[in-house]
Structure 1
Amino acid sequence: MTKPKIFIDGESGTTGLQIYSRLNQRDDIEIVSIAASQRKDATERAKILNSVDVAILCLPDDAAREAVSLVNSTQVKILDASTAYRTAQGWVYGFPELHPGQREQIAKAQFVSNPGCYPTGFLACIRPLIAQGLLPSNFPVTINAVSGYSGGGKNLIQKYDRLHEQQKGVTSPYPYGVYGLQFGHKHVKEMQQHAGLTSPPLFVPAVGDFEQGMVVQVPLPLWTLDNPPSGAEIHQAIAHYYQGEKFVQVAPYQDTSLLRDGTFLDAIAVNNTNIVQVFVFANDNTQEALLVARLDNLGKGASGAAVQNLNIMLGVPEELGL
């Protein structure tokens, strides 16, 4: 049997390297590469893009759009890891656990967009509650999140590497930094659309002095609702929504066993996995709740999700290479 041919366009970038590393260990596919000297040769790229079974785009948005414009074969499937097509018509959103039927849409699609890391954590928390009516679609949602610096790509990784070298083991001068202070972060539209919200969420991202890992927090002031659900009802709804899923794990309600010293929810605990963990904490007396997602921004937040989507698109077991 002929092995499916996979081309990673942008395999030298952070996500591309991670995907290549995962796929290069497999013997059920054939990886097609382009010579370094021809990476900017549109003719050669078009030739390769139209000759493979699946092209995975690990490129900046404009370069991803250019790559898509070079594809004229209806037989080639495109999996785009940029933000260019995550809310575009004609593209299927590559979060298989988003809702029933999403996995089947990915399997049939020619064009699939890989989710962002922050949106993956956010949607894992909030989508079940919107879908099942425990929260109204017009609920004013706030997101506070922190990611490892690898989420910023090559430039930020190099900056932190230089800082660590200069400090020679001394605490980094940039241990934690909030950004996106002008609002309108590129992930917000993606979050709103796929959560089913009528208004954009208020998103406050931050970067920490650790290479990879991520925590996404969604505080819920339930007292603003006429008939607020209890914390247990919220947890039950989320747990039921993801029942049977391999890569979304819902921790027991109010569980502290997965916390460091029973107190701290570390951002790096599921690094090097394709898992997103969802936690529910609540105080029914004050009618407050906190949803938390923990994931590897380079795993389920990027390359792991891409491999999972690729497997679905090829019709092979989702866990291959994961």
Structure 2
Amino acid sequence: MSSPLVFIDGDQGTTGLQIHERLRSRTDLKLVTLPAAERKDSRRRAQAINACDIAILCLPDGAAREAVAAIVNPAVRVIDASSTHRTHPDWTYGFPEMTPGQAERIATARRVTNPGCYPTGAVGLLRPLLHAGLIPGNHPVSIYAVSGYSGRGRAGVEEYEGPGAVNAPSYQIYGLELAHKHAPEIQQYAGLTHRPIFVPAYGAYRQGIVLTISLNVRLLERHADGAALHACLARHYAEAAHVHVLPLHESRDLKQLDPQVLNGTDDMRLSVFPNAEHGHVLLSAVFDNLGKGAAGAAVQNLNLMLAQS
């Protein structure tokens, strides 16, 4: 049996480069990319995508839509790393640990949409707690996150590593219009009835995310407190290979969260920080925005899909 053909469309960006690096030495698949002279040739790109078994799209949203529209071969399966199809009902959400059976749904899907980096942390924290009834669906959720500058793609890398890097800001909050494109994705897959407030930021480091969600216990269900929230997350991810819940006794000893601590891995660490005196709970997710937040997630989904090929 011949090795499956995996075509990366857009292997020059931060995510595409990482995926290419992870796959290029594998012997269980044949990796296909286009030479520089053909990358903007729509005819050649259409030929390549229709000749492959699985296409991984690492493209801007508009280009990803065009790539999918060019598929006429019904056997082609797609992993889209753009945000184009993340809330589309015909696409399977590529977060294997989100719910029981999600990994199996990804394995058999024809169209898989990779989660956004920030939503991976937000949905990872919220979905089990809403499903268990600990957080009501109409809870007013506010999410704050800071990512390394590679989250901006090549533009971010150029700003912080290029000729003008000395002028790059050390820290910048953005999305001040509160209309970030990740908010609908978080709402849909977390199970919220209302759009969350989402405030992202970039720091002057290459990669890594810290995402936090602050909760007031008096607004939660009657039986919900820090211990109950932690127990729910620990149960949900007990068998997960890449999502880990920090034990409560360890979180009590933490004095700060380092967004870079899991860089170079495909893991995500979830933590619960309760303050019983004030009735507050802080939820946090730490992971590599180029690992579990992008390239690592795409390869995890690819492996699931290859197992069903």
Question: Which of the five TM-score ranges fits, normalised by the shorter chain?
Answer: over 0.9
After superposition, the Cα gap between the structure-2 partners of 1:138 and 1:38, relative to the gap in structure 1 and judged at 3 Å, is same
Match in the other structure for 1:180: 175
Q: Distance in 1 between matches of 2:28 and 2:240?
A: 24
Q: Distance in 1 between matches of 2:206 and 2:261?
A: 13
Q: Secondary structure at the match of 1:124?
A: helix
How far did residue 284 of structure 1 move? 2.1
Q: Distance in 2 between matches of 1:165 and 1:224?
A: 44
Match in the other structure for 1:296: 288
Pairing 1:230-249 to 2, within 5 Å after superposition: 230-249=225-244
Q: Is the 8 A contact 1:254 1:279 kept in 2?
A: no
Q: Is the 8 A contact 2:79 2:114 kept in 1?
A: yes
After superposition, the Cα gap between the structure-2 partners of 1:39 and 1:162, relative to the gap in structure 1 and judged at 3 Å, is closer
After superposition, the Cα gap between the structure-2 partners of 1:282 and 1:163, relative to the gap in structure 1 and judged at 3 Å, is farther
Q: Secondary structure at the match of 1:50?
A: helix
After superposition, the Cα gap between the structure-2 partners of 1:165 and 1:226, relative to the gap in structure 1 and judged at 3 Å, is closer
Pairing 1:203-242 to 2, within 5 Å after superposition: 203-225=198-220, 227-242=222-237
TM-score computed with the length of structure 2 as normaliser: 0.96
Match in the other structure for 2:51: 51
Q: Is the 8 A contact 2:159 2:165 kept in 1?
A: no
Q: Secondary structure at the match of 2:89?
A: coil
Q: Is the 8 A contact 1:143 1:201 kept in 2?
A: yes
How far did residue 279 of structure 1 move? 0.3
2:264 counterpart (272, 282, 286):
272
After superposition, the Cα gap between the structure-2 partners of 1:285 and 1:165, relative to the gap in structure 1 and judged at 3 Å, is closer
Pairing 1:100-111 to 2, within 5 Å after superposition: 100-111=100-111
Q: Distance in 2 between matches of 1:187 and 1:226?
A: 26
Output one character per residue of 1:285-322: Cα deviation in whole Å (capped at 9) or x when no partner: 32210100000000000000000000011117xxxxxx
Output one character per residue of 1:12-57: Cα deviation in whole Å (capped at 9) or x when no partner: 1111000000001211110012121111212111111111110000
Number of aligned positions between the proteins: 308
After superposition, the Cα gap between the structure-2 partners of 1:41 and 1:173, relative to the gap in structure 1 and judged at 3 Å, is closer
Output one character per residue of 1:209-264: Cα deviation in whole Å (capped at 9) or x when no partner: 1100000001111112361512111100000011110000100015248x7xx411
How far did residue 108 of structure 1 move? 1.1
Between the two proteins, what is the percent identity of the paired residues?
47
Moved over 6 A (4+): none
Match in the other structure for 1:129: 129
Structure 2: unaligned runs, 5 residues or longer: none
Cα RMSD of the aligned pairs, angstroms, is: 1.5
How far did residue 105 of structure 1 move? 0.9
Q: Is the 8 A contact 2:133 2:221 kept in 1?
A: no
Q: Letter of the 2:60 partner, please give it.
A: P
After superposition, the Cα gap between the structure-2 partners of 1:112 and 1:230, relative to the gap in structure 1 and judged at 3 Å, is same
Q: Letter of the 2:105 partner, please give it.
A: Q
Q: Letter of the 2:31 partner, please give it.
A: I
Q: Distance in 2 between matches of 1:45 and 1:57?
A: 11
Q: Distance in 2 between matches of 1:310 and 1:19?
A: 10
Match in the other structure for 1:90: 90
Pairing 1:144-155 to 2, within 5 Å after superposition: 144-155=144-155
43-52 or 56-65, which deviates more? 43-52
Q: Letter of the 1:177 partner, please give it.
A: Q
Q: Distance in 2 between matches of 1:228 and 1:140?
A: 18
Match in the other structure for 1:139: 139
Q: Letter of the 1:24 partner, please give it.
A: R
1:193 counterpart (166, 188, 192):
188
TM-score computed with the length of structure 1 as normaliser: 0.92
Output one character per residue of 1:83-132: Cα deviation in whole Å (capped at 9) or x when no partner: 00000121000000110111111111100000010000111111110011
